[in-house]
Structure formats: C-alpha cells, structure tokens
Structure 1
C-alpha cells in the first residue's frame, strides 16, 4: 500500500514553499513521524514528518523546487515488507548491456546539488559533460565552476559555441573558482522585500536618546539569583525594555498603531515583536499581551523563542500579529544604528551596546553605563512630538524602574 506525502498547511497567507533538504532518499526505511524533508517558506522552515512507517519509494519534488500547499512531495510504501519493492529497480541495471547503454554516472545526476543544476542551466552546460566529485558521482557547484574555467581557458576550441553564454564572465574567469552564487532563501527574499517596502512606503524617521542603565543593572544584579531560583529563567534586560515600551505605548498609542488604507488602526493591546538573529536571517517572534505579563513570563517567552530560533523550530504563528518591535543590536556590539520598520507596524526601538561613558550628574562628571536608544517611526501617523515623548518615557522607566511597578 502506498501513502502520499503532501505539503502541509504552511500558515496564514503562506501558499508556497521551496523544498530545501531531503533527509531521506528513495529506498530508505522511515518510521512514523521521522523527518522526511524540510520546506523553506518566506517566514520559517517547516519539517515534513512521515505519516506512516515504511519505505520512501519515490520523491516527487526535488530539492530546490517550489511547491504549493497540498502538492505531492513523495510516496511511501507502507509496512516492513515495503523495503523489498524499493530494492527491485536495482536488478534492472545489473545486466552488462544495461551498463553499456546507460553511463554509470547518469543515475545520480538527478541528485546533483541544486546550486550546481542552476549554474549549469544558466550557462547552457550539459550535465553529462561535468564530472561529479560528490558522493556517488554527484555534481557539486565547484565541479561546474571548474568546467566553466576550462571552457574559457586558451586550450578550449575557439569555435566552440558553449563558452558564449559565459562571455560576460570571461574577464573574471580566473576568480570564478573563488566565488559562489547561492540563491537567496525565501526568508532572505522576504526580509529584503519587506525592508525595501518599509523604506518605499512609510515616511520613516528616527529619533535618538540615551539611557543611564545604572538602576536596571543594580536591580538585576541584586535579584537575578533569587529570580532564577524562583522562576527557572534568567533575568535579562529585555523584560525591562519590554515593560518600559508597553508603558510608553499606552501614553503614545499612535506608535502602537498601523495604517490600513485611509484608516488608522489603534491596538488596545501590545504584542511585542523581539528581533532574533538566526543563521538564516532575522526573524521576529512575538510576545503576546506583553503589557499584561510579568517580568518572569516575558523572560520565559523570550528564552523559549530563542531556543526555537536556534533549532529552526519557530512556527509562523510565533511571528504573526506583532504591534511594535524591539531590536537589540547591542548584543553584536552596535553602538548606534537606525532600525528599519517592520511593516505594517509604525514603530521599532533599537537597543545598543552598554558602554561606560563620562556624564554630568548634579554638576559632577561621573562614569556611568550608558546606552543609546533609537526609535524609528512612521511619520505619516506619528508626529515628532509623540515619538520624542515615547522615547523619553522609555528612558524614564529604565532610569527609575520603580515607575514600572507604580504604573507611572
């Protein structure tokens, strides 16, 4: 009995994905819920598990292919006995005449690296003309680049038509082996599109301030051990910033709003997006109802999202519905930057590196741990006055955290 494996529902507004990686190949035995392949959408990666135990008998959608929701990915022959049919095709290649008629490397050509297939197509190179150095003769990108260099070398026939598509690259052919062309992932394409969309659509402006982190750091150092012992999570800075922003958003609600056509939608709740860097790009999981959550719950949510991001297990639901975003470039050492809006949101706060600097307090120059803050906002609905007030309220709450407890 054969079972179909199809593309699962990918989430709201997501209709297609790219087959990123197959973890199994035809003939491999699979267990129930064992991962078969990984799909890459414009927001997250989605793992596709096996619905039954058996043998992967056929892969329909190869790596690099774009597939829609419900599209057929593979067939699985159910049951322990399914392994036998999977091995059946092998005898077809056993006779000597079959070996002579079909070159040995032809079988693995379908398994060539996606980047190699793309490069061969771009340069009109026949797959059979490239010697693969990968496992089982698989053609890798380096093999194609080497073939390109060989085509453009002086020893190549002058009249050969094959080098013509690569003519624009001949001037830098010697550099080709040291370059790598990789198709942008769907996530990276979406990041690029959305950030450019924000620049083209919003009247984006950034205002700056700085905050003395002494009070927050002292409070954190005083209670971090008790906090972790009671709540099972470390006390970081993000919970302070999340609560400070939530308080400021209540006073300046237009920063927590969005434009929809000729209307402005004011959100009477705070779903705080927290920008997280991953190997695949920047993602923004959302701490829902952050305005009504405790410090401990916020820290737990953020820690959980951090683990899921590192493991590539963030879901689309984890990243939808944000009303405001905090981006912490300080963890990478950034001293100052202007964050770009996360559409359709109207505000994003940039945190930066905490650095000891001399400041004047009560007429005296002292050394304090200072952080620059940057608020980028959509000037179409947020006036400069409102943006400045918002940032001042965040600064006040962080420099005197007691204000957060008394809702001041």
Structure 2
C-alpha cells in the first residue's frame, strides 16, 4: 500500500513554499512522525513528518522546487512492500513496531536495542543542545523515565525513555548540539539487560544533517547547500555568499541571514567614517584568581535573551516614564474578597489581574502603546495579547495570555497561575510565548524598588511593577502612611509620544487607586 506525502497547511495567507532539504532518500526506511523534509516559506520553516512507517518509495518534489499547499511531495510504501531497502523477516517486524521518531528498535544480541532520538522540537526549531543527562551508561530506567533534557533557544525539552531497560550508550554528551533527527543514546530493552560491549556507534555528526563532531575533518564531505530562497535573495541584492553568515543547519544560509547581511551592509555604508568599537578584551587575571574562577557556557536560552534584549536597545528609540500608585484600595478589595474568590474560582486573587485589567483599559485609550512598527507602517492591534514576564531557573520567559482584554478576573488569574507553573517546569511551547502585544514585568517579587524594563520587540510598550513599600504621603493636607508602588513604562518613542506614554501610565494609576473605575469602564 502506498501513502502520499503532501504539503501541510502553511499558515494564513501563505500559499506556496520551497523544498529546502530532504533528510531521506528513496529506499530509506522511515518511522511514523520521522522528519522527511523541510519546506521554506517567506515567513517560517516547516518540517514535514512521515504519516506512516514504511519505505520512502519516490520523491516527487526535489530540493529547490516551489510547491503549493497540498501538493504531492513523495510516496511512501507502507511496511516492507515496495522497496528493496526495506528490512526483512524479524527485523522488519521490529521496525514496524517502532512507536515514533523518538525511538527506533533493532535486533540485539541479548535483547532488543532501542535508539533514543531527539523528539519533535516544534515548528522552525531545527537543533537543540543537550543540557543535562539524568542517567549514566549502565543505569536501569523505567518506561517514560526522564533520560535527559534538551535546550532550544525557546524552551527546554525533556526526553523520556521509550521503554524499560538499560542505558547502553550515550552518543550525545552534555553540551553537544544536535539536530532534529539526531540519535541521543542507545538502550537495551528488558529488566535484566546489561550494557553492550560492542564498539561505539558512529556519532550523529557523521551525517550531512548533523553537527560535525569536534575535530572531525569535513573538507571531503558533501558541500552545504544554501536555502533556495537565500540564493534568490543574494542574487537580487547583488551580494556574495561570503558576506552572509549562515545560521541554518551546518551553516546553511537562510533568507533571513541575507536580510541581516543587507541591513549590516547598509549600516556600515552610513557610518563608514565612524570606526566600529572593538570588543573589549578580558583583562589579564592573576593566576591565583584564575584558579578560583568557574567558566560556564551560556545556555541557548540565555544567549537568545541576551541577543534579543540588545537588539531591542539597538533598534527601538526606548524611553522610560515613571509614576507611583497608592495600592490602598486594591489591597483592601483583595483582602475583603480573597477567601470568597478562592472558594468560588479555585485560584488565589493576586495583584496581577488588577494590573492586567488596568493595562487593557488604558490600552484602549492609548492604542499606539499596543501597536508595532512594520517597515514604514504602524500596525494597530484591536486586541490585547498580554505577555507576563516570569523568572525561571534557566532565565526570563514571557508566556502570553491571549485576548486578555475580554477575560474576567478569575480567568486571568487562572491563566497566569497555569502558565507560570508551566514556565518554571520548562513546559511552555513556543506558541505560548509568541504573539504578545504588550508586556507586564513584576520585579517587585524580588524586592526591586525601581527599574527601567527593556522592550520585548516588536512590542512598543512594557510596564514594570515594583515592590509595595509604605511611605509617608500627603493626603488632604495631612501626612499619612500609604502602601506605594513605583510604576515604570518603557516605550518606543518612534511610535509613542511622551503625551501618550504619560496618559497611559496615569490611566493605570487611576484604575488601581479606584478599582470601581474598571467596573464602570471609566
């Protein structure tokens, strides 16, 4: 029986894609959900998994071909029929029993051996770094017990054991960068299985689709093929390949790499007479101090945070305005209803729902704070997807609460609690951290009294909350002690004027100092 592999849905308004890379060739055996090829659109990269287990019989759309939605890419012969390269007899039966691309089995000497593969990393994510192994070679593991943890530039991914047995071999040690189809380890299935004494398998770096092993000579290997969209963009812009730094697999140049090279060339031309500042070299460290230092490689998440924050400062005309809010009324309202709120809705009433509601209210009056710049256009959002910055053991992440402007207090609190727990456990998906239109960052939970938050591009505004601290205030001519909080709004001055920023912050202050205004939509 033959199964057709077709182009999946590419996203709203996207009608065609280019076949960038085939990971399999005719005659290769494939498992269910194993990646067959990669497509490129003008917006994202899309991976195409195998719909069934079998043998790749025919490739209809070759690398570089432009295909439309639902176009035929390839044909797969299910089972062992239709290809000479398919496994035979007992080997074939075991291959067909493979549950997914996360594990592949083969006949072993004392029991079945199982390949532990990189799980699906998500759309547009092509590689990850092995951050932690929870098991060592020779350890016994139960089915679904965590073997290791991978880090991408967005989220952490846990890799469970596909079956009970013994960890025979680790092919990707901690710190190794692996691609989406790489083999991480080998297991021997069964309770009493012992570690295999055979020669180590060749590392995944030996394939053209994996990161080469350290020190390996790849000069005689297959040349890395740039993405067709990147070649076209280079030809149209008239720039050479050596001007482009490839960020794709094995250094492949992607379309966005060409755009970055063009932008860099333009910046260099404008400031040609101004020498670029050289990176400051590390000062010499005395030997006795160096012996007490510890050097740790930045995680992929931390590198991405650093790059995005610096890009934000370099791109936006960022400015911060401050105000302060008397939290007396919010604290009194919360104290009065928190028990009833918890009993009815099953979630605690916190301050974040008040701030989220107040920001949504203010964004309606000052819509430019909820907008973004796209080239020479301003894109106004008639909805609020609220980003709530959350600190995790691995770094800062910003889960997004969609359509927060249409949610109730308890729905907002439930969403914040659920996404906060998932963030701390490293369970957030990329989709849950994309599409935000405005962000709230609460540094007060760590004791911060005042700070200037950095924009989360392409957003134009971010509100910084701080510590509630009792201070003497003048109220109706008398000095009284009030719980006060400093508020900070960082905004992109290219799109938001000072008047709009101050108005936004004043509206937030008014709503929090008199929460009844939120109910009356004032």
Smaller-chain TM-score bracket: 0.7 to 0.9
Instruction: State the 1:174 CA deviation.
Output: 1.0
Mapped partners of 2:138, 2:291: distance in 1: 35
Q: Residue 189 of structure 2: which of 59, 78, 81 is its match? A: 78
Instruction: State the 1:88 CA deviation.
Output: 4.2
Mapped partners of 1:289, 1:62: distance in 2: 42
Write the mapping of 1:271-282 to structure 2, written as runs, cut at 5 A.
Answer: 271-282=385-396
Q: Residue 303 of structure 2: which of 189, 192, 195 is its match? A: 189
1:390 match: secondary structure: helix
Write the mapping of 1:351-362 to structure 2, written as runs, cut at 5 A.
Answer: 351-362=465-476
Q: Which residue of 1 aligns with 2:420?
A: 306
Q: Which residue of 2 aligns with 1:383?
A: 497
Give the conservation status (yes or no) of the 8 Å contact 2:168–2:196: no
Instruction: State the 1:57 CA deviation.
Output: 2.7
Q: Which residue of 2 aligns with 1:289?
A: 403
Q: Which residue of 2 aligns with 1:17?
A: 128
Q: Which residue of 2 aligns with 1:52?
A: 163
Write the mapping of 1:335-346 to structure 2, written as runs, cut at 5 A.
Answer: 335-346=449-460
Unaligned runs of 5+ in 2: 1-105, 107-112, 200-213, 215-281
Aligned length: 330
State the superposition RMSD in angstroms: 2.1
Mapped partners of 2:379, 2:167: distance in 1: 50
Give the conservation status (yes or no) of the 8 Å contact 1:59–1:75: yes
Q: Which residue of 2 aligns with 1:31?
A: 142
Instruction: State the 1:395 CA deviation.
Output: 0.8
Instruction: State the 1:50 CA deviation.
Output: 2.1
Spell out, residue by residue over 1:280-308, the C-alpha distance to the aligned partner (whole angstroms, 9 max, x if none). 22111112221111111111121222322
Spell out, residue by residue over 1:63-116, the C-alpha distance to the aligned partner (whole angstroms, 9 max, x if none). 1011122222122333446x14x25459xxxxxxxxxxxxxxxxxxxxxxxxxx
Q: Which residue of 1 aligns with 2:461?
A: 347
Q: Residue 479 of structure 2: which of 358, 365, 379 is its match? A: 365
1:336 match: secondary structure: coil
Q: Which residue of 2 aligns with 1:333?
A: 447
Q: Which residue of 2 aligns with 1:392?
A: 506
Q: Which residue of 2 aligns with 1:255?
A: 369
- Alignment of 1:6 onto 2:120: no
Q: Which residue of 1 aligns with 2:353?
A: 239
Spell out, residue by residue over 1:35-69, the C-alpha distance to the aligned partner (whole angstroms, 9 max, x if none). 11100112221101122333333222111011122
CA spacing shift, 1:384–1:12, aligned 2, 3 Å: farther
- Alignment of 1:174 onto 2:285: no
Q: Which residue of 2 aligns with 1:221?
A: 335
2:291 match: secondary structure: helix
Spell out, residue by residue over 1:163-218, the C-alpha distance to the aligned partner (whole angstroms, 9 max, x if none). xxxxx998611112311111111111111111101100000011111111111011
1:67 match: secondary structure: strand
CA spacing shift, 1:259–1:9, aligned 2, 3 Å: farther
Name which of structure 1's ranges 177-186 and 4-13 shifts more when overlaid on structure 2: 4-13
Instruction: State the 1:248 CA deviation.
Output: 1.0
Give the conservation status (yes or no) of the 8 Å contact 2:386–2:436: yes
Q: Residue 323 of structure 1: which of 432, 437, 440 is its match? A: 437
Give the conservation status (yes or no) of the 8 Å contact 1:11–1:317: no
Mapped partners of 1:402, 1:13: distance in 2: 45
Q: TM-score, normalised by structure 1?
A: 0.76
Give the conservation status (yes or no) of the 8 Å contact 2:150–2:157: yes
Mapped partners of 1:264, 1:77: distance in 2: 58
Instruction: State the 1:392 CA deviation.
Output: 1.0
- Alignment of 1:202 onto 2:202: no
CA spacing shift, 1:87–1:239, aligned 2, 3 Å: same
Mapped partners of 1:197, 1:60: distance in 2: 36
Mapped partners of 1:88, 1:368: distance in 2: 72
Unaligned runs of 5+ in 1: 91-117, 119-167
2:186 match: secondary structure: strand
Q: TM-score, normalised by structure 2?
A: 0.60
Spell out, residue by residue over 1:14-37, the C-alpha distance to the aligned partner (whole angstroms, 9 max, x if none). 322110111223333333322111
